[in-house]
Amino acid sequence: MMAPPARDWLDPLRRALDASPAPVTFFFRDDDVGWSDDRLFTLLDLFARYGLPIDLAVIPAELGPALARRLERTVSDSGDRVTVHQHGFAHVNHEHEGRKCEFGHARPGLDQRGDIERGRQRLRHLLGPLVRPIFTPPWNRCTAETARCLVDLDFRVLSRDVSAVPLNQAGLAEVSIRLDWHAHRRGVRLSPNEWGEALARVVSTTEPVGIMFHHAVIDEAEHEALRQLLGVLAGHHHARSAGIMALARDEAVGKAH
């Protein structure tokens, strides 16, 4: 649980945006769709309130018909503000040691490809053409073999954490998260004041600022802090927002020039 926000915790962000010589682009990714549906739609209501876009990473094995129908209505009614894409297959760890990973070195390429393809088929069956060609691996981890499988299966974008080593796979753009709303330092959740400072630091970079959420662990006490953050980002003249696909297209155009 995040500590209650102080009134001025977002002042560092406001100052950084005020001082920025150009608009700063933000994007938002929510992982683990398929779990905790009520909390998911509470988060989506908050984003709708401020008219901000959000990319939803959906676990194929956890998506049932009832949730799919609700998502279909939400995405269709949002006018591209809310999008859905694939989040692994079952969000299951296959590594025998080390950090958790569904698409890691313990699995040969054929096994990885099989799960990715089965997941895509399930999402397409339940959500049809609404599914974007984006892949977010569980725990933000995958291998170069995963990237090759993704290109073979016509995915266009890989979204992980900025700390991940770029895979540099031709035909696969990488749009990385820079901040985790649930980040810890030495086992303790970042306070709102620490979050304000972290936001100010990333605003000073030239890269888009991606913020990752896990709706399943956002409780009511955190919603006030998130509401305040979205209010600043929706209202500041130097804050822009975009979806992952739009950022991938911008990256491709930039490389072409």
Residue-wise pLDDT tens digits, 187-222 = 678 888 999 999 999 998 878 999 999 999 998 878
Q: Are 213 and 2 in contact (CB under 8 A)?
A: no
Residue-wise pLDDT tens digits, 4-61 = 566 799 999 999 999 999 999 999 999 999 999 999 999 999 999 999 999 999 999 9
CA-to-CA distance for 128 and 254, rounded, in angstroms? Answer: 31
pLDDT exceeds cutoff 50 at 73: yes
| The pLDDT of residue 4 | 55
| The pLDDT of residue 256 | 46
The two three-digit tokens of residue 197, written as one number: 């400072």
pLDDT exceeds cutoff 70 at 257: no
Spell out where the chain has E strands.
24-33, 54-58, 82-86, 131-135, 157-158, 173-174, 179-180, 184-185, 188-189, 209-214, 239-241
For residues 63-79, give the mean pLDDT: 98
The two three-digit tokens of residue 128, written as one number: 């049809």
Place of tokens 């892949």: 135
Residue 91, CA distances (Å) to 7, 62, 102, 228 in order:
37, 9, 6, 31
| The pLDDT of residue 3 | 58
| The pLDDT of residue 6 | 66
Is residue 146 within a helix (H) or strand (E), and if so which, with residue range?
helix 144-152
Domains and CATH numbers, the chain: 29-189+205-220 (3.20.20.370)
| The pLDDT of residue 2 | 60
| The pLDDT of residue 219 | 86
Residue-wise pLDDT tens digits, 130-189 = 999 999 999 999 999 999 999 999 999 999 999 999 999 999 999 999 999 998 776 678
Identify the band that residue 77 occupies on the pLDDT scale cut at 50, 70 and 90.
Answer: very high
Q: Which of 130, 155, 138, 132 is CA-nearest to residue 62? A: 138
pLDDT exceeds cutoff 90 at 252: no
CA-to-CA distance for 200 and 11, rounded, in angstroms? Answer: 9
CA-to-CA distance for 214 and 237, rounded, in angstroms? Answer: 28
| The pLDDT of residue 253 | 46
